[in-house]
Amino acid sequence: MQGVRLWTATVLMVTAATVAALLVGTMGETKKAPTAYRTIGVFEGQVAVFRPDGDTPERVLDTCVLTLPPEEQALLRAGIAVADANELAVRLEDYTS
């Protein structure tokens, strides 16, 4: 029973931290992964593509981050590292279709 309580408490803390990060960072910008070809993230509440060496997005999509599921919002805020142009094209299809 104590193991279940510990597991439940852990899940609740992780969920609360995720929700707090989403609420605090609804307009937050993404940190770019320095070794990635590009990073997909957030710029002014929209899905955006960043070069590894830039703070200004290379491309901003018409997709509002708040319209996406919470899990996807968290991934975007953390920054999704993309290895090459092909992977970038495939991943961007998810946000433009």
Q: What is the pLDDT of residue 29?
A: 60
59-64/38-43 β-pairing? unpaired
Q: Is the pTM of this model over 0.85?
A: no
Q: What is the pLDDT of residue 17?
A: 45
Domain hosting residue 72, numbered range: 2-96
For residue 34, pLDDT beyond 80? no
Q: Which amino acid, 44?
A: E
Mean residue pLDDT of the chain comes to: 78
What is the Cα–Cα distance from 41 to 25, expressed in whole angstroms?
12
The string of pLDDT tens digits covering residues 45-57 is 999 999 998 889 9
Lookup: tokens for 52: 């590894």
Domain count of the fold of the chain: 1
Percent pLDDT > 90 in the chain is 56
Q: What is the pLDDT of residue 30?
A: 56
CA angle 86, 90, 91 (to 5 degrees): 115
DSSP class of residue 26 equals T
Contact between residue 18 and residue 76 where contact means Cβ atoms under 8 Å apart? no
For residue 71, pLDDT beyond 90? yes
